[in-house]
Structure 1
Amino acid sequence: MSLHPIVSGEVPASTATVARAAFPRGNPYLLLRDRLGTIFTDAQFASLFAHCGQPAECPWRLALVTLLQFAENLSDRRAAEAVRGRIDWKYLLGLELTDPGFDASVLSEFRGRLVAGGAEEHLLDTLLTLCRDLKLLNARGRQRTDSTHVLGAVRFLNRLECVTEILRAALNALASAAPAWLRSQADPAWLERYDRRAGDHEVPQGEAKRRAHAEQIGRDGHQLLAAILAPGAPIWLRQIPAVELLRQTWVQNFCLVDDAPTTGTEAPLQVRWRTDQEGFPPSLLMVASPYDPEVHYARKQSTIWIGYKVHLTETCDEGGPHLITHVETTPAPVVDRDALGDIHEALEAKGLLPDTHLADAGYVAADQLVASRKKGVTLLGPAPKDYQWQARSGEGFSVQDFLLDWDREVATCPAGHQSKSWSPDDHQGRTAFKVRFSTTDCRPCPLKTQCTRSGRRLLTLRPREEHETLEAARQREEQLAFAKEYQKRAGIEGTISAGVRVLHLRRSRYIGLAKTHLQHVLTAAAMNLIRLSAWFAGAPLARTRQSAFIRLMMAPIPA
C-alpha cells in the first residue's frame, strides 16, 4: 500500500446541513470537529507507507475511526458500518453522505502498521500536542498515576497444563513446518497424550501420580528436543519459535539427575519435575503460555493473573479537562516503583513533566523520591514505613533515635555508645550501609530491651541522600496539608474504573506486549476525546456518588 497525502478539507455542505438538522441540540462528535478540526494529517503517517503501490485509505481518517472505535468499544466490522451509516461520524470525518466507506480489514492493517512502525504513542501524543496549542494542557502542573492488572488474551494455565500445552504447540508447529520429519520421529503414544489441549485430559489424582504424569511429559519433551538437536536433523528446526520456547520451558520446569548408584558405568539421566527444592526462575522469566510468551504470572494481594500491567498518568489541575498524558504497559511482575522512572522520562520527552506527581505507596521509594526531585518533580505519596519491631511497637528505639554522623561514618545510640563499624552492603539489590555496634556496649546496656533482641544492635541505612529524603517525606506525611493535597490522587482510580467498565481496559484484545500497549494507548486517547467533548459542552466533572443511607445520615437534622 502507498500513501498519496490529501489536504484535509472542510466538512461537505450536504453533510453539515443534514448533521445540523439531525442534531439540533448538538452532538459530541460535531463539537469535536468544530473545536479540534481533523486532529490528524496524512503527512504524520507517511513513514508507515510505501512510496509505490495501491493507494491506501486516508490515514488521518483511519486514525480518527480507530479512536472512535475504542471510545464506543466497537469491533472492526461495526466501526466500518458506523462510517457508512452514521451522520455524526461522517461529519467528524469530513465525508459525503454517499461515501461507501471501506472494508473492515483496513482497520486491522492500520493498527499493524502502527505497531510495525513503532508508532503506538503517535495518536495520543498528537492529541496532547493539539491540546497544548489550545491551552487545554499545561506542563509543570499536577498529575497522578495508578496501575491495574491486565489479563492476557490467553487461557490461565497451571504449571502442569502449561508444559503440556507448550509441548502440544511445538508438535503442531513441527507438523506444519516439517511433517515428514516429525512422522519419522514421533512416538505413537503421543497421539493419545497430546491430541487435545491441556485441561481437556483427565489429570491423575494424588501428588505422586501427578508428579509421575508430569515427568512422563518431561521425558517426551526431552525425546523431541534430542531428535531436533541430533546431527542428522535439519538445522532450521531449532529456529522455530515454538521449539525454542519448548527448550526454555523444559529448562525452567524439569531437571536432569543421576539417580543410579555409583557402579563405574554411565547411566542415563532421569527427568525430574522441579519443586521448590530445585528452585524456579523469577516470574519475569517464567514462561506462562505457548501462544503469548510475553505474558507472565503475577500476584498482588488477592489478585492472581497472567498478563500485563498498565499505568495511567493524567492531569488533575483545576480549571481544565483531566487528560491522560501517558500510558505505560509493563510485564505483570514489574512492580510499580520500577515503572516510575520510565514514566518520568516519557513525560519529560513530551514536555509534560509535572511539578507534583501524586501516586500511591507502590510508586514511592527512597530512590524514587531522590530521582524525582532531581527532575524537579515532587513525588507525593505515602512514604515507606519502618517495619522494624522497634518502630512498630512504638516503645523501642528506631533509626530516627540514633545520631548519624555521615561525614565520620559513626552512629551514636540513645545510650551514648558509638558504632564500631560502618560498611557498605548490597541490600536486596540496592546500595546500603551496615552499621554495627559492639556487643561489649550492648549486652550490659540498661536500654537493651528497647533496642535489640540479639547480642548487639545492627542498623541498615540507605545512602545519605535517600535516607534524608525519606525522613523528610515521612515528616511531610504527618502534616495536615499533605492529606488535603493527596486527596486529589483518588480521581485516577475513577479513571481506571471507567476504563475497565466501559472500555475493557483490564483485558487484552491482542497477543504480545506491543499490541497490548497499542490497545492501552488507543483506549487512553479515546478517553481523552470523550473528556474533551464533555469539556467543550460544559458538562461538570462528576462527583463521588453516595448511597441513599449515607445521604440520609449526613443530612442535617431539621430543627
Structure 2
Amino acid sequence: MSLRPTLCRDVPTATAAVARAAFPHGSPYLRLRDHLGTIFSDAQFASLFAPCGQPAECPWRLALVSLLQFAENLSDRRAADAVRSRIDWKYLLGLELTDPGFDASVLSEFRSRVVAGGLEEQLLDTLLVLCREHKLLGARGRQRTDSTHVLGAVRSLNRLACATETMRAALNVLASAAPAWLRAHANPAWIERYGRRADDYDVPQGEAKRRAYAEQIGHDGHRLLAAITAPDAPAWLREIPAVELLRQVWVQNFCLTAPAQTGEPEDGLCSETTPRVRWRTEHEGFPPSLLMAGSPYDPEVHYANKGTTTWIGYKVHLTEACDEGGPHLITHVETTPAPVVDRDALEDIHAALEAKGLLPDTHLVDAGYVAADQLVASRRTYRVTLLGPAPQNYQWQTQSGDGFTLQDFIFDWDRQVAICPAGHESRSWRPDYWQGRTAFKVRFSTTHCRPCPVKAQCTRSERRLLTLRPQEEHETLAAAREREAQPAFAKEYQKRAGIEGTISAGVRVLHLRRSRYIGLAKTHLQHVLTAAAMNLIRLGAWFADTPLARTRQSAFTKLMMAPIPA
C-alpha cells in the first residue's frame, strides 16, 4: 500500500447542512470538529506506507475512526458501517454524503501498521498537543495516577496445563512447518495426549499419579527437544518461536536428574543412558513470575497477584490532569507486564510526561507508588512532588506506641554513628542491600544493650539493630510521614479519588480490563486508543459546557444524608 496524502478540507456543504438539520442543538462530534478540526494529518503516518503501490485509505481518517470506534465500543464491521451511515461521523470525518466508506478489514490492517511503526503514542499525544494549543491543558499543575489489572486474551492455565498446551502448540506448528520430519520423530501415543486441549483431559487424581503424569509430559517434551537439537536435524527448526518457547517452559517446569543406576527398575521414562525428567517443586525452585511463561499463545502474559486479585495478563497505569477550571484529560498510558509493581512504573511515567512537556508539579498517587527512593528521585530529577501515603513502619516498637522508633535515635551521618535514647553510640555502621536498594545496618553493642534499663522499650533481642536508608531518603521519608499527619494532607489527597472514577468508567463502558489482542504491544495500543477515546468523550462534554459529574449516591444514602425538615 502507498500513501496518497489527502488535504484536510472543510466539511462538505451538503454534509454540514444535513448535520445541522439533524442536530439543531449540536452533538459531541460536531463540536469536536468545530473546535479541534481534523485532529490528525496524513503526514503523521507517512512512515507506515511505501512510496509506491495501491493507494491506501486516508490515514488521518482511519486514526480518527479508531478513536470513535473505541469511544462507542464498536467492532471493526460496525465502525465501518457507522462511517457509511451516520451523519455525525461524516461531519467529523469531513466526508461527502455519498461517500461509501471502506471495508472493515482496513481498520485491523491500520492498527497492525501503527504497532509495527511504533506510532501508537501519536494517537493520544496529537490530541494532547491540540488541547495545549487551545489552553485546555497545561504543565506543572496537578495530576493523578492509578493502575488496574488487565486480563490477557488467553485462557488461565495451571503449570501442568500450560506445559501440556505448550507441547501441543509446538507439535501443531511443527506439523505445518516440517510435516515429514515430525512424522518420522513423533510418538504415535502423542495423538492421545496432545490431540485435544489440555483442559479436555481428566488429569489423574492423587499426588503420586499426578506427578507421574506430569513427568510423562516432561519426557515427551524432552524427547522432542532432543530430536530437534540433534546434529542431523535441520538447524532452522530450533529458530521456530514455538520450539524456543517449549524449551523455555521445560526449563521452568522440569529438571533433569542422573540416569537410573544399575539394578534400579526402569519406569519407561528413564534408562541407564538417559536422564530422568522430574517435575519441579518448591525444593528445586521456580523462576520469578516476570520470567515464568503463562501461556504458549501469548508468551508476554504472566500471573500476578495484587491484594485479593489474581490474574494472568498485564497492568495498565492511567495518568490524568485534575486541575480546576479545565477538562480532566488522560495525559499518559503505561502498559506493563502484570508482575511489575506500581512504583517501578513511576520513572517511565515521569519520563514520558517530561517528553510531552506535561510534567505536573504535584502527582497524586496511592501507596503502591510511594517509596523513599521514589520520593527523592521525583523531586530531584523531575521537580515533581509525589503526594501519597508514605510507607509505614510496621516494627513492634512503632505498633505498640511506647517503643523507641527511628525518630528517637540521633544520627551523625558524617561520622556514621547512631545514638540511642539512652545515650549510647552504635558499634558498627555498614552498607547493605535490602530488596534491591542500598541500605545501612547499624548495630549497637550488647555490652550497652543488655543492662540498659529501657531495653524493654527498645528491643527484644540481645541488642538493637537498625536498618537505615541513605540520608536523603531517610530524611525525605520522615518529612513525608510528618506531612501525612497534617489536616491539609487529607484535604489535598481527596482529589486523587477521581482517577478511580476514570478507571471505573474505562472498565464499565470501554472494557479496559480485557485485552482484545495478543501481545504487550497491541494491548498497549488498545489502552492508548481507549484513553484517547475517553478524552474525546470528555472534550465533547466540555465544549457543551456539561458540568463534571458528582459522585453517585444510592437512593438510601441520599435519603439519610438529607437534612430533616423542621
TM-score by length of 2: 0.98
Q: Deviations over 1:189-234 (max 9, x none)?
A: 1010001011001111111111111010000000000000111110
Matching of residues 409-420 of structure 1 within 5 Å: 409-420=416-427
* 1:296 Cα deviation after fit: 0.3
Distance in 1 of aligned mates of 2:2 and 2:91 = 26
Report matched runs for 1:227-242 at 5 Å. 227-242=227-242
Match of 2:383 in 1: 376
1:173-212 correspondence runs (5 A): 173-212=173-212
Instruction: Please tell me whether the aligned partners of residues 303 and 313 of structure 2 are also in contact (alpha carbons under 8 angstroms).
Output: yes
SS of 1:426's partner is strand
Query: Do 1:383 and 1:477's aligned partners in 2 also have CA atoms closer than 8 Å?
Result: yes
Displacement after TM superposition at 1:302 (Å) = 1.0
1:455 and 2:462 correspond: yes
Deviation string 1:352-389 (CA, Å, 9 cap, x unpaired) is 00000000000000000001101110000000001111
| Cα distance, 1:267 vs structure 2 | 4.8
Q: Of residues 326, 332, 336 in structure 2, which corresponds to 1:330?
A: 336
Match of 1:318 among 298, 319, 324: 324
Q: Which residue of 2 aligns with 1:24?
A: 24
Q: Is the 8 A contact 1:146 1:493 kept in 2?
A: yes
Partner of 1:518: 525
Match of 1:98 in 2: 98
Which residue matches 1:168? 168
- Determine helix, strand or coil for the equivalent of 1:423: strand
Aligned twin of 1:349: 355
Q: Secondary structure at the match of 2:200?
A: coil
In 2, Cα distance between equivalents of 1:300 and 1:262? 50
CA contact (8 A) 1:258 1:267 kept: no
Equivalent position of 2:246 in the other structure? 246
Report the secondary structure of 1:505's partner residue.
Answer: coil
Structure 2 counterpart of 1:134, which letter?
H
Would you say the 8 A contact 1:401–1:414 is kept in 2?
A: yes
For 1:243, the aligned partner's letter is V
**1:540 — aligned with what?**
547
Question: Following TM superposition, by how much is the alpha carbon of 1:444 offset from its aligned partner in structure 2, in angstroms?
Answer: 1.0
Match of 1:298 in 2: 304
Shift of 1:98: 0.5
Q: Which runs of 5+ in 2 are unaligned?
A: 265-270
Q: Give, in whole Å, the separation in 1 of the partners of 2:6 and 2:231.
A: 58
* Aligned mates of 2:350, 2:233 — CA distance in 1: 50
Moved over 4 A (4+): 261-267
Rounded to whole Å, the distance in 2 between the matches of 1:392 and 1:15 is: 69
Tell me, yes or no, if structure 1 residue 6 matches structure 2 residue 12.
no
User: How many positions carry a matched residue from both structures?
Assistant: 559
Query: Partner letter of residue 120 of structure 1?
Result: E
| One-letter amino acid matched to 1:76 | D
Aligned to 2:219: 219
**Structure 1 residue 259: Cα displacement:** 6.5
Cα deviations by residue, 1:227-263 (Å, 9 ceiling, x for unpaired): 0011111000000000000001000000011264589
1:272 aligns with: 278
Whole-angstrom distance in 1 between the partners of 2:9 and 2:56: 18
Q: Within 2, Cα distance between the matches of 1:263 and 1:347? A: 68
In the aligned structure 1, how far is the partner of 2:321 from the partner of 2:58? 32
Pairing of 1:333-482 with structure 2 (within 5 A)? 333-374=339-380, 375-482=382-489
Alpha-carbon distance in 1 for matches of 2:250, 2:34:
59
Helix, strand or coil at the partner of 1:199: helix
8 Å contact 2:255–2:280 — kept in the other structure? yes
**Cα displacement (A) at 1:547:** 1.7
Amino acid of the structure 2 residue aligned with 1:143: Q
Q: Aligned partners of 2:450, 2:153: CA distance in 1, in Å? A: 59
- With structure 1 as the length reference, what TM-score do the two structures score? 0.99
Q: Where do 1:103-118 residues align within 5 Å?
A: 103-118=103-118
* Counterpart Cα distance in 2 of 1:352 and 1:390: 42
- The one-letter code sitting in structure 2 at the alignment partner of 1:231 is P
In the alignment, residue 330 of structure 1 is paired with which amino acid?
Answer: T
Amino acid in the other structure paired with 1:75:
S
Show the counterpart of 1:136.
Answer: 136
Deviation for aligned residue 1:266: 6.1
Q: Contact 2:259/2:272 (CA < 8 Å) preserved in 1? A: no
Query: In angstroms, what is the RMSD of aligned CA positions?
Result: 1.2
**Superimposed CA distance per residue, residues 525-555 of structure 1 (whole angstroms, 9 cap, x where no aligned partner):** 0000000000000111000111222222222
Tell me by how many angstroms 1:93 deviates. 0.4
Give the Cα–Cα distance (whole angstroms) in 1 for the partners of residues 561 and 523 of structure 2: 44
Aligned-partner Cα distance in 1 for 2:260–2:158: 31
Which amino acid counterpart does residue 504 of structure 2 have in structure 1? S
Provide the C-alpha distance between the structure 1 equivalents of 2:223 and 2:77, rounded to a whole number of angstroms: 46
Please name the residue that 2:315 is paired with: 309
